[in-house]
Amino acid sequence: MARTKRMSRRVWRAEMRKIILRLTRALLGFSLGVVGVLLVYFLYLQSLIGVDPATVAFNDALKDGLAKAGHRPAYFVLSSVRPRWWNAILVSWSGAASNSQHLDGRALDIIVLDVNQDGASDARDVWIVYALLDKAIIGRRGGVGTYVNEAGFFNRQMIHFDSRGFNARWHR
């Protein structure tokens, strides 16, 4: 009698172990799926998919302008088309505008690296890109902003530009 009890307990434990293992595997698979979807989604937010053609043209002109001036197009897109819920989070996090040009796909935020190839990614590079966008490329057709006075490398190296259809400039 005692032996059968011990046996059934052992069987029960083995069954539990199997169930826990299966649950752990399912949970792991689900988490990886969620991470994958988020990854693809945030890569999409940094792509030029769905960006206004006028803004894409500004971006192309910037690459050309930098090359013609003997510089490198050393920058990457941090933010392009932004869904409403993500913009709402950024409004409270980082002071993004609630009526942001990103909502309509008219804006790009770029992080400027060592454009002039002097070995450092700093304000000099930001001003080279700003000058091109300000005078040669966008003019009165849109907005250009820098964040050179803010804390943190990524803020300071960021330039926003958009095709809002009228002139706007700022330096934070």
Residue 147 burial (CB count, 10 A): 20
Instruction: Select 125 or 162, whichever has its Cβ closest to Ca ion.
Output: 125
Instruction: Select 100 or 147, whichever has its Cβ closest to Ca ion.
Output: 147
Smallest separation (angstroms) from Ca ion to the CB of 113: 8
Q: Is 148 exposed, middle or buried (0-12, 13-18, 19+ CB in 10 A)?
A: middle
CA–CA distance from 2 to each of 12, 14, 15 (Å)?
Answer: 15, 19, 20
Smallest separation (angstroms) from Ca ion to the CB of 119: 7
Smallest separation (angstroms) from Ca ion to the CB of 73: 13
Q: Which residues bind Ca ion (CB under 5 A)?
A: 114, 116, 118, 120, 125
Instruction: Select 45 or 113, whichever has its Cβ closest to Ca ion.
Output: 113
Q: In whole angstroms, what is the distance from residue 124 CA to residue 146 CA?
A: 12
